[in-house]
Amino acid sequence: MAVRTVDHPLAQHLLTLLRKSDTDPEKFRRYAKQLSQLLLLSGLRDMPSVSVSVQTPMQETEGSKLGVSLVVVPILRAGMAMLEPALALFPEVSVGYVGLERNHETAEAASYYCKLPDMTGRWAVCVDPMLATGGSASQAVSLIKEKNPEKILMISVVSAPEGIERFLNDHPDVEIVTAAIDEGLDENKYILPGLGDFGDRLYGT
């Protein structure tokens, strides 16, 4: 698969606001929600649909409805910022959770929680705002694959080239949807220019 960069002007406007160091947590949460909606809509634009007949106030007509059910899997904790927009767009979506915590010395992620529904015949959307080293995303998608989804998408706000390379090496069948591919990682494995620690900025910690 490939990487899809969402270059819609509104997406890039919201990303710029998220990058600004003086954006307070309340505004940061709002911009993150709006940008996440755009990323989700772009990533899921190829969802199948089925024809249905509906009765309007005037007459019967043909319409369509979604032809596949969704499971959204946020990587805790920052991924929770992208869950609410998914629930708003797709109220009948199922939700799974993967908890991964990065060791700041090794930059590797360790799992501390995982609860996933059966995904047979469903589309899975893994969401994590920052695709840095790619380790957390790769581990999460490996866990998701054990639940037999029909298709998996990885959606992030900002991605580093190093993380993209690792992720696609591990999961060449999974498309990445992101708002930006940044310059790379610093010595502490943080994305540059990035937007700082997404979870800390989101929750004001």
CATH code of residue 166: 3.40.50.2020
Strands 191-192 and 184-185: antiparallel
In a domain, 162, yes or no: yes
The answer as to whether 31 is a domain residue is yes
pLDDT the model gives residue 204: 78
Count structural domains, the chain. Answer: 1
Dump strand ranges (E) for the chain: 3-5, 49-55, 60-66, 70-76, 94-95, 97-102, 109-115, 123-127, 130-131, 151-159, 175-181, 184-185, 191-192
- Active-site option among 106, 118, 173, 186: 106
Residue 106 confidence (pLDDT) above 60: no
Which pLDDT belongs to residue 182? 97
144 within some domain: yes
Clarify whether 197 is annotated catalytic: yes
Tell whether 57 is covered by a domain: no
Is residue 149 within 8 Å of 122, Cβ to Cβ? yes
Cα(23)–Cα(174) distance, integer angstroms: 32
What is the model's pLDDT at position 113?
84
Q: Is residue 61 part of a domain?
A: no
Asked if residue 51 is part of any domain, the answer here is no
* Helix axis angle, 25-43 to 9-19, nearest 10°: 150
Residue 86 has pLDDT above 90, yes or no: yes
Which amino acid is it at 79? G
CA distance 139 to 161: 18
The domain in which residue 20 lies consists of 3-46+68-203
The catalytic residue among 4, 77, 102, 170 is 102
pLDDT digits (tens, 9 = 90+) for 59-72: 999 999 999 999 99
127, 43 Cβ separation under 8 angstroms: no
187-203 pLDDT, tens per residue?
988 999 999 989 889 88
In the residue annotation, 46 being an active-site residue is answered as no
Whole-angstrom Cα distance, residue 162 to residue 141? 17
Q: What are phi and psi of 199, to 5 degrees?
A: -60, -45
Q: At what angle do helices 135-145 and 161-170 cross, to 10 degrees?
A: 20
- Rounded CA-CA distance 142/173 in Å is 12
Q: Which helix (H) or strand (E) holds 163?
A: helix 161-170
24 is catalytic: no
Does the annotation mark 200 as catalytic?
yes
Query: What is the predicted pLDDT for the residue at 199?
Result: 84
Q: Is residue 53 part of a domain?
A: no
Is residue 52 situated within a structural domain? no
Structure tokens belonging to residue 38: 């755009």
